[in-house]
A and B are shown apart, each in its own frame.
Chain A
Amino acid sequence: MPMNWIEKFRQKDLAETLLNRINNSLKSSRSYKIMEICGTHTVSISKYGIRNLLPKHIHLISGPGCPVCVTSQSEIDAIFSLISEHDVMLAVYGDLMKVPGSGGENLLDLRARGKEVVIVNSVLDVIKLAASTKKEVVFVSIGFETTTPQTAYLILEAHLRQINNLSVLLYNKTMPEVVSLLLKDEHLNIDGFLCPGHVTTVTGEELYYPMVQYKKAAVIAGFEPLDILQSILTIVEQVNTQKFNVVNNYKRVVSGSKNIKAYNLMEKVFEVSDAIWRGLGVIPKSGLKIKEEYAYFDAIKRYGVEIKKYSEKKGCRCGDVLKGYVKPTECEMFGSFCTPENPFGPCMVSHEGTCAAYYQFGDECE
């Protein structure tokens, strides 16, 4: 039945209805600046050509919601130092493979030179991998709240089963602090947010209460075209009436409550820490570190990994793209020195990166 739902949430005639309704709701005297925080939304918006279907009054801006993209250059470089200096096997989610280090090489290049880099789809694969080899395995953990409990589970499982040849390079980041930063950014001045549906299954709706306090629309959206159009309509209506509240348009998946089971996993293993974000620099309390009790599984401690404090690569405007300051097409490197085949910055690497989505689906400059 869900496959059937997928089709139902892509119906062309209903998309036209929603577009008509959005058009009829617009006030000609103003524009509407809407930010999608989730990389999966960015991909859907580009893939279904939604940006180009919307009236000119509506500006869709991508935010810092692609985990690989917001991973700072210093964190990326630390992965390269680790694998160069130690005889370890790296386990990574696939979208990390083409991210270039400051030296220009990516993990595919390292693998071609004989380094062991394994792509995994799940931490369940990491457990199997580590249990099947005597080699030291390092899992590079990148993600937000939806992906972080799984890494906590991995560490607890490794602890329980005494899988001692496993450690985790923990780069996970958390959403509330970056949301707060976006809200305070006067340069951005967002009217409403398309809120990330799957993150909300973990955080609950409470993540978005500050948005409403700042008089911004906050609408939890699914990832099909009708989900996105319906949520844009809700944002436009809230902006028009200036009555702001958190609306959940993705009730088929999101209950709105915080996932206590997921938070229990995270709180058992991790504690709050500062984190360095690409383009945004150090954001206090926006990251995690492994608690002392599980320090044995911390790759930073096991291998003495040093993470410096620089955030990005010179010449790359990924940081400005992540803050919504510029569109990918405004970067001089876009499409010339930086393409998905030969990416310069991570926003062009990750499938969910804003630049990659613009390039792949031909989103044009407004």
Chain B
Amino acid sequence: MCLGFPGKVLEIGEFTAIVDIAGTKREVSLAMLPDEIEIGDYVMVHVGFAIAKMDPKEAEETLKTLLEYADELDREV
């Protein structure tokens, strides 16, 4: 329903930003982005609009949880 693409913020204008989505530069609207962004941040882009700022710390936390599951499984084996 709502395919999103992560993009790295390269330039920030008044209403739009230039982001790098998998190597392609695209202008995206910031009209519905609730967060402040800086150059180098990552945003999730849906139909030409940044819809959310991404949080690298949370990505690492989730992966850490999954790695802990793997450790637990190793111990059980």
Within 8 Å CB of A124, what residues of B?
27, 29, 48
Encode B2-41 as 1/0 by CB contact (under 8 A) with A: 1110101000000000000010000101011110000000
With contacts A38-B1, A122-B48, A198-B4 known, is A251 near B61, CB below 8 A?
yes
* Docked CA distance A352–B3 (Å): 9
Check if B47 sits within 8 Å of A230, measured CB to CB: no
Q: Name the distance in Å between B1's Cβ and chain A's nearest Cβ.
A: 4
* Docked CA distance A197–B54 (Å): 13
Among A9, A21, A223, A257, point to the contact of B69 (Cβ < 8 A): A21
Check if B44 sits within 8 Å of A67, measured CB to CB: no
Q: Closest residue of chain A to B16, judged by CB?
A: A124
A-facing residues in B31-69 (Cβ within 8 Å): 31-34, 42, 44, 46-49, 51-52, 54-56, 58-59, 61-63, 65-67, 69
Check if B69 sits within 8 Å of A196, measured CB to CB: no
A39 on the B face (CB < 8 A) = yes
Within 8 Å CB of B44, what residues of A?
198, 201, 253
Within 8 Å CB of B4, what residues of A?
197-198, 223, 253
Q: Name the distance in Å between B15's Cβ and chain A's nearest Cβ.
A: 10
Check if B22 sits within 8 Å of A3, measured CB to CB: yes
Among A20, A150, A197, A249, point to the contact of B32 (Cβ < 8 A): A150
* Docked CA distance A23–B75 (Å): 17
A13 on the B face (CB < 8 A) = yes
With contacts A8-B63, A40-B3, A265-B31 known, is A251 near B55, CB below 8 A?
yes
Q: Name the distance in Å between A201's Cβ and chain B's nearest Cβ.
A: 4
Within 8 Å CB of A254, what residues of B?
52
A162 on the B face (CB < 8 A) = no
A149 on the B face (CB < 8 A) = yes
* Docked CA distance A149–B2 (Å): 13
Check if B34 sits within 8 Å of A261, measured CB to CB: yes
Check if B1 sits within 8 Å of A66, measured CB to CB: yes
Check if A2 sits within 8 Å of B6, measured CB to CB: yes
Within 8 Å CB of A8, what residues of B?
59, 63
Check if A5 sits within 8 Å of B59, measured CB to CB: yes
Overall SS of chain A's interface: helix
**How many chain-A residues does the 8 Å CB contact rule pick out?**
55
Q: Name the distance in Å between B42's Cβ and chain A's nearest Cβ.
A: 5
Q: Name the distance in Å between B75's Cβ and chain A's nearest Cβ.
A: 12
Check if A253 sits within 8 Å of B73, measured CB to CB: no
Within 8 Å CB of B55, what residues of A?
251-253
Within 8 Å CB of A262, what residues of B?
32, 34, 51
Q: Name the distance in Å between A65's Cβ and chain B's nearest Cβ.
A: 5
Q: Closest residue of chain A to B46, judged by CB?
A: A146
Among A2, A150, A230, A257, point to the contact of B66 (Cβ < 8 A): A230
Check if B58 sits within 8 Å of A251, measured CB to CB: yes
Check if A20 sits within 8 Å of B73, measured CB to CB: yes
* Docked CA distance A223–B54 (Å): 14
Among A5, A14, A196, point to the contact of B2 (Cβ < 8 A): A196
Check if B54 sits within 8 Å of A252, measured CB to CB: yes
Check if A146 sits within 8 Å of B1, measured CB to CB: yes
Which residues in B have some Cβ–Cβ distance to A below 8 Å? Answer: 1-4, 6, 8, 22, 27, 29, 31-34, 42, 44, 46-49, 51-52, 54-56, 58-59, 61-63, 65-67, 69-70, 73
Given A3-B22, A123-B48, A197-B4, 17 more pairs with CB closer than 8 A: A8-B59, A14-B70, A21-B69, A124-B48, A143-B47, A147-B46, A150-B48, A153-B49, A196-B2, A198-B44, A199-B1, A201-B52, A202-B51, A252-B54, A252-B59, A254-B52, A259-B51
Question: Can you spell out 23 A-B residue pairs with CB atoms less than 8 angstroms apart?
Answer: A2-B6, A5-B59, A6-B6, A8-B59, A13-B70, A14-B69, A14-B70, A21-B69, A38-B2, A40-B3, A123-B47, A124-B48, A147-B2, A150-B48, A150-B49, A153-B49, A196-B2, A198-B1, A198-B44, A252-B55, A261-B32, A261-B34, A352-B3
